[in-house]
Amino acid sequence: MLDAELGRVVSFLKTKGNYILWAAVVAALIAAIVMYVGRRYRDTRERLQAQYDQLMLSQGDPTVRPDDVLQGMKDLAAQYDDKRIGALASVHVGDLYAARATTAATEAERKSLQDQAAAYYARAAEAFPDQPMGIAKAHLGLAKLAEDRRDFKVAEAQYRAVLAMTDLAGYPVTAAAEQALKDLPALKEPVPMAATAPSTQPAETQPASRPAASAPPRATQPGATGKAGK
């Protein structure tokens, strides 16, 4: 029986051996490709993460030009190899433009910078819809832009959009949105403007003129009276 079974195996290998061999080769090739792609993807993600971290740290370095940081973040925002980095970089580009808008020389320049910031915030949500953290931070950025324009209805809607992302409950981004929503009513109040500059002291309590100081008595030397008498 054993001899019969071995005979069947030998016969099977003679007829199907080439197919089995080729199947083994193909399987090994597929495994090698998967390992190569996985390693390359991991290396790419590590490289992009290192670039992002370096750009974030270089913002406090006086030897690095702000325009270089901005361009580096734009490059990271344009790639799709790491969507998480792409979303975060898009938000950060928006933050950089929004910060520049606060020191713009003219109203036209300020509006242009705010529009560019809004475009990158929108990109974070549109280009990377599966990155909730980037989307939440984009909502915060759009809310701050709306506050600067005193469009508090839009700002409130953006903050509530963050709070509606229940998967991020407990994260700092949701805490920031919740606190900003609480502070929003105070921002809606008009800023009181004084009609005239207040005086430091009421007019009726201020003296009309300062009394002149009396001259100190002239010192008399001993014996001067006696000499005058003589």
Tell me the whole-structure pTM to 2 decimals: 0.68
SS3 content of the chain, % helix, strand, coil (to 5): 75, 0, 25
| Residues 68, 54: Cα–Cα separation, whole Å | 12
Q: What was the pLDDT predicted at 215?
A: 46
- CA 28 to mean position of chain CA atoms: 46
The domain ranges of the chain are 10-120, 131-188
Helix (H) or strand (E) holding 139: helix 132-148
Cα distance between residue 121 and residue 139, in whole Å: 7
The predicted structure's pLDDT at residue 5: 78
> Are 74 and 93 a contacting pair, CB within 8 Å?
yes
Under a CB-based contact definition with an 8 Å cutoff, are residues 123 and 77 in contact? yes
Query: Which tokens belong to 124?
Result: 């974070």
Tokens describing residue 199: 């005086």
Q: What pLDDT is recorded for position 4?
A: 78
Angstrom distance (rounded) from CA 179 to CA 16: 71
pLDDT of residue 30: 80
Q: What is the pLDDT along the chain (230 residues), one digit of tens a residue?
A: 888 777 777 777 777 667 676 677 777 778 777 776 667 768 889 999 999 999 999 988 899 999 999 999 999 999 999 999 999 999 999 999 999 999 999 999 999 999 999 999 999 999 999 999 999 999 999 999 999 999 999 999 999 999 999 999 999 999 999 999 999 999 887 666 555 555 555 544 444 444 444 444 444 444 444 444 43
Degrees to nearest 5, angle at CA 37 with 32 and 38? 100
User: Is residue 80 within 8 Å of residue 107, measured between CB atoms?
Assistant: no
Which among 27, 4, 91 has a CA at the least distance from the CA of 56?
91
Cα distances (angstroms) measured from residue 176 to each of 26, 41, 103, 135, 186:
53, 33, 24, 14, 16
Around Cβ 137, how many Cβ atoms within 10 Å?
25
- Looking up tokens 């990377």, which residue turns up? 128
